[in-house]
Structure 1
Amino acid sequence: MVANLILEWTIMAQSYGQLAKNHVGFWQVLFQSVSQMGPGLSAVSGLTAAASFAAGAMPLAIILALIASLLGANTLIQFAKKISSAGGYYAFVAHGSGPRMGIFTGWIYLLYQGINAPAMILFFGFLLRSVLDMGLGMNLPRWTWWPFALAAAGFVWYISYKGIKPSLRYSMVAGLIEFVVFVILGTVLVEKAGPHNTFAPFLPASSPRGWAGVGMAMVFGLFSFAGYGAAAPLGEEAKNPKKTISRAVFLAVLIVGIYYVFIGYASTVGWGLNKMSSYASLPLPLMTMAQKDLGPLWFWLVAILVINGTLACITAIHNAQVRVLYALGRDRLVVPERLGQTHAVHRSPFQAIHFQSVINILVVSLVGFWLGSFAGFVFLGELMTLSTLMVHIFANFSLTRYYKRLGEFRVLVHGIIPALATVLYLFPIYFTVYPVPNFPDNIPPYVVGAWIIMGGILLVRIFKQSPDRIQNAGLITGDTSEEITG
């Protein structure tokens, strides 16, 4: 029976068209995760937000966020050893907790990644307008973020449509250049600090609010690590995916984490340990410091890299999202069936790319003109936070069930570590609902709740009309070699 189901769905996958197997190597997969974390972007945004709470102890908060992210990455790594699927977390949870939970997870993941790209496109519009104002004193009208954002959306559509390899090659080259220049900038800042270099940034006493400030800063540190799971949806296109995805995710978190700690430390001693309370008062303090301490050439170098890195980040987000849309469309679930088609030449999920590109433009335009480019970015960021943490919690729970069913359960990696990661993820969720934030920050929990209710209604409808579709949700993987139960 199981063999017949696998054969039937494998034939259906071939009729829909498959993604190009064995098409991308380890380094390209690695930079898919690195690019979505946006190391240059986070250096001028996420770390700045962390400094607003921890001040001089910001590097300590980043270290703690690195530890938490490594714990969370364990879940993806353990799943990737067994499952290769474009569905990513959708397929992982389906294998671990059953098709119904898999569909729920895929639905919530659609919200996370579906607004992730528009959020970063909004930030790109804000960033480019701000850079032109700061660097050239152009004083552009406030609405000029919109054409910049549309240009970014068009760029990402084109490079994704041409296939995964060109877009990953772009992400890899952009990421390497970004790393090198920011490390040089950090090294210069550390050298210029001279006798002011100290171990104090790694002590909670350097935060005016002590451990409370460090804890809040850690939340924003975790935001900077969001995206390391972007490698998972490349499971059907990567060479030797069950090893490649695991290694890429671990190294992405570790390398970017060390980079964040170094840049955080360099920013702290470069700005001045006792002056860090004013660090977050500027919109782009690291770029301001590059201009002040190293001259306008460095300002423009950093600005260009952050702009370029933001485009690479959006590209990585888009690549991950459209592959989940492709997997759900291929499984005939939640989204239109045609999204499960691939391009005859480029082997890219072109229908999903077109669909997501339209969503990007609509969300960017509606939210951007409602709240403004930066406030809209923050609003969508809150939605992303709630939805992605829920996806990771479902995955943590499913990992334990999955390995118990296989008879390969190990207490530490399949039990304790996922449980610790879940506890850490509940921390920021708590602060998104209590105390009740001001408008519009109080809206995201209701949006996520409404999205979950919609998913439940769709699930019931699918079950009544075609129960076999739920039974086989997430079944198609890169090797279609495993039965799903639950």
Structure 2
Amino acid sequence: MDERKGLKRDVLGTWLVASYGIAANAPIAVATLYFVGIAGLAGGSMPLVTILSYLIYATTLVVVYEWSKNIAASYGYVAMIKKGLNSSLASFMVGYGYIYQYLVAGAAGFGILGVASFLYLVYPSIQTTMPWLWAVIAIIVTVETTMIMYLGVKPGGMINLIIGLISIIFLVITSIILIVIAGSKNTLSPFTAQPVNGNWVLILTSMIFGITTFGGATTPIGVAEEAKIPKKTLPKALLIEFLLLGFGLILNAYAQTVVYGVDKMFDYASLPDPMIIIYSKYFPTAVVILLIVLVAFMFNSSTIAFATSASRMVYGMSRDNVLYPKTFSKINKYGVPGNAIILIGAIAGTLSLISGYILGPLEASIFLITFGSFYVAFGHLFAAIGLMKYKISMKEKLNLLKHIVVPIISALVYILTIYFGTYPAPAFPLNIAVYLAWAVLFIHGLVYYILKKKNPEIMKKFGDFSL
């Protein structure tokens, strides 16, 4: 195939496709940072929340898994929602809205600002002596990850796979060691609501936060067109990476809980870097340094994964002649959309610097993740509804559990997530992120009708592409 006319095909095998999900999720970074939030709400029941969140997110994975057997398109959610609901409006508003997860929440908020602010969390004194260092790190990460993506989808996949697997192996081995060290403190109570005195309201509330622990697991759909035998490779990749993520994170949640103390986990949540503090107590300095290095590298890989999917969204939109000029569908000599990659890198870097300057890198990271996560919920919600509608129309292939029950559960979860994420709104400035997300969704609707009025035939066909 002429590489100038489309993405280079048959580049990624199952494991390299899976690497984009592992990298986007960044399990070791999640264990270092996200567990703090879960413990703050659920205390010693953190492992229970982690398992329940994993099972709930599994409904999302099943939905995407089922779609991946029918859809292989660079603008994944756009194509899923179009095929499921036969609505270009829904595809544009919600499917394209997922770019804010890839670009704003993932690449800028979690990836670039995550690694930029992580050093300050580990060594708070640096914030006083070098308050500008985060911006330098953000620029370096932006330039470096953009260059890697520009050189092709395979180099980024190889980096993601190596760092991702090392991180998961590290989590598993060190977790087993901590469980052994805990000795008689090992107990099944962290897998119950007993540590919070049976308060299931706390458990359910923390699950809304806990579900994001596994966010990014569906990111590989963005590189579907570049996979070998996409409709077979992508489902396998989604299953492999989700199983690995679950095993590593659930095991580590339990290990940290029992070694620190089930009844002390609310105190754990008040520590600046609880995982690093725990590892510093029970492991040699070299292991702690390795932990810090792996977290930093995982943030970097996460930037690559999210930004790659964002660039493929731009590429797919441009190919459909929607919103983005044709220049962004041009393929460079490495078989990837070079102009789209440069655009995504520039936007992610600029967003990181501006928001970091206004709010500070850590607060800016949380702000951007809050904004983008809103569209994750909408994307998953409409993908679930669309799958039900599509499979019902294909009666002979309908599976009651996979195509009706699981999507209903998934849809309900995201309806609740959207509702409780909006009302009551989080404290300032995160409430601004929520209101801004709703405003941008409304703007999507206006832009759609403007585009439809100018080019009705183009908008009618928008989202139809799939291998």
Normalized against structure 2, the TM-score is what? 0.95
Q: Which residue in 2 is equivalent to 1:72?
A: 60
Distance 1:138 1:391 in 2: 37
CA contact (8 A) 1:50 1:216 kept: no
Q: Give the corresponding residue for 2:288.
A: 299
- State the shift of 1:178 in Å: 0.8
Gap change, CA 1:274 and 1:321, over 3 Å in 2: same
- Equivalent positions of 1:14-413 (< 5 A) are 17-98=5-86, 99-115=88-104, 116-120=106-110, 121-133=112-124, 140-207=129-196, 210-343=199-332, 345-407=333-395, 408-413=397-402
Report the CA distance shift for 1:307/1:316 in structure 2 as closer, same or farther (over 3 A): same
Deviation of 1:365 after TM superposition, in Å, equals 1.2
Q: Distance in 2 between matches of 1:30 and 1:347?
A: 20
CA distance in 2, matches of 1:415, 1:140: 57
Deviates more, 1:283-292 or 1:21-30: 283-292
Q: Decide whether the 8 Å contact of 2:122 with 2:273 is kept in 1.
A: no
> Which moves more between the two structures, 333-342 or 296-305?
333-342
Which residue matches 1:8?
A: none
| Pair 1:424 & 2:401 matched | no
CA drift of 1:197 comes to 0.7
CA distance in 1, matches of 2:83, 2:92: 11
Cα distance in 1 for residues equivalent to 2:427 and 2:464: 43
Cα shift at 1:208:
5.1
2:56–2:410 contact (8 Å) kept in structure 1: yes
Q: Is the 8 A contact 2:89 2:445 kept in 1?
A: no
Aligned AA (1:331): D
Structure 2: how far apart are the matches of 1:205 and 1:132? Answer: 35
Instruction: Give 1:319 deviation, angstroms.
Output: 1.1
Work out the CA distance in 2 between the residues paired with 1:415 and 1:90.
Answer: 21
Distance 1:285 1:196 in 2: 18
Give distance in 1, aligned partners of 2:343 and 2:270: 39
* Alignment: residue pair count: 463
CA-CA distance at 1:439 after TM superposition? 1.3
Instruction: Give SS of 2:331's match.
Output: coil
Per-residue deviation, 1:215: 1.4
Change (3 A) 1:138 1:456: closer
Structure 1: any 5+ residue segments left out of the alignment?
Answer: 1-12, 479-486
The residue that corresponds to 2:446 in the other structure is: 457
Q: What displacement does 1:371 show?
A: 0.7
Pairs within 5 Å for 1:461-480: 461-478=450-467
Point out the more displaced range, 137-146 or 326-335. Answer: 137-146
Change (3 A) 1:389 1:348: same
Cα distance in 2 for residues equivalent to 1:465 and 1:198: 64
Q: For 2:425 and 2:72, locate their aligned partners in 1 and report how far apart those are by CA, in whole Å.
A: 40
Contact 1:128 1:148 survives alignment (8 Å): no
Deviations 1:96-150 (A, max 9, x none): 112222122233112222202110211111112333457xx78533332111111
Partner SS for 2:58: helix
Query: How far 1:314 sits from its partner (Å)?
Result: 1.1
What is the DSSP-based 3-state SS (H/G/I as helix, E as strand, rest coil) of the residue aligned with 1:377? helix
Sort the Cα spacing of 1:222 and 1:140 in 2 relative to 1 into closer, same or farther, 3 A.
farther
Deviation at 1:15? 9.2
What is the distance in 1 between the residues matched to 2:291 and 2:353?
28
| 8 Å CA contact 1:66, 1:253 repeated in 2 | no
Q: Residue 34 of structure 1 contacts residue 228 of structure 1 at CA under 8 Å; is this kept in 2?
A: yes
**Does the C-alpha gap of structure 1 residues 15 and 236 become closer, same or farther in structure 2, counting only changes over 3 Å?**
closer
Q: What CA deviation, in whole Å up to 9, does each residue of 1:73-100 have, x standing for no partner?
A: 1111111111111111111111111222
| Aligned mates of 1:193, 1:449 — CA distance in 2 | 46
Question: What does residue 415 of structure 1 align with?
Answer: 404
In the superposition, relative to structure 1, how do residues 138 and 402 fare at CA in structure 2: closer, same or farther (>3 Å)?
Answer: closer
**Structure 1 pair 113–323 and aligned structure 2 pair: CA distance change class (3 A):** same
Counterpart code for 2:290: L
Partner of 2:427: 438
Contact 2:425 / 2:434 at 8 angstroms: preserved in 1?
A: no
Q: Which residue identity does 1:72 align to in structure 2?
A: T
Deviation at 1:373, TM superposition (A): 0.7
CA contact (8 A) 2:139 2:349 kept: yes
Per-residue CA shift, 1:374-411, capped at 9, x if unaligned?
11111111112211101110111111122223333322
Question: Do 1:96 and 1:398's aligned partners in 2 also have CA atoms closer than 8 Å?
Answer: yes
Output the CA distance in 1 between the equivalents of 2:400 and 2:287. Answer: 50
Distance 1:271 1:277 in 2: 11
State the alpha-carbon separation in 1 of the partners of residues 147 and 119 from structure 2.
Answer: 20
Post-superposition CA distance 1:310-363 (Å, at most 9, x none): 1111111111111111101111112233211111x2011111101111101211
The RMSD of aligned alpha carbons is: 1.7
Identity of aligned residues (%): 26
Q: Distance in 1 between matches of 2:18 and 2:448?
A: 34
Supply the AA of the counterpart residue of 1:210.
N
Q: TM-score, normalised by structure 1?
A: 0.92
Cα distance in 1 for residues equivalent to 2:231 and 2:448? 30
The secondary structure found in structure 2 opposite 1:443 is: helix
Per the TM alignment, residue 426 of structure 1 is displaced from its structure 2 partner at its CA by: 2.3
Work out the CA distance in 2 between the residues paired with 1:411 and 1:435.
35
2:225 aligns to what SS in structure 1?
Answer: coil
Amino acid at match of 2:117: F
The one-letter code of the counterpart of 2:122 is: V
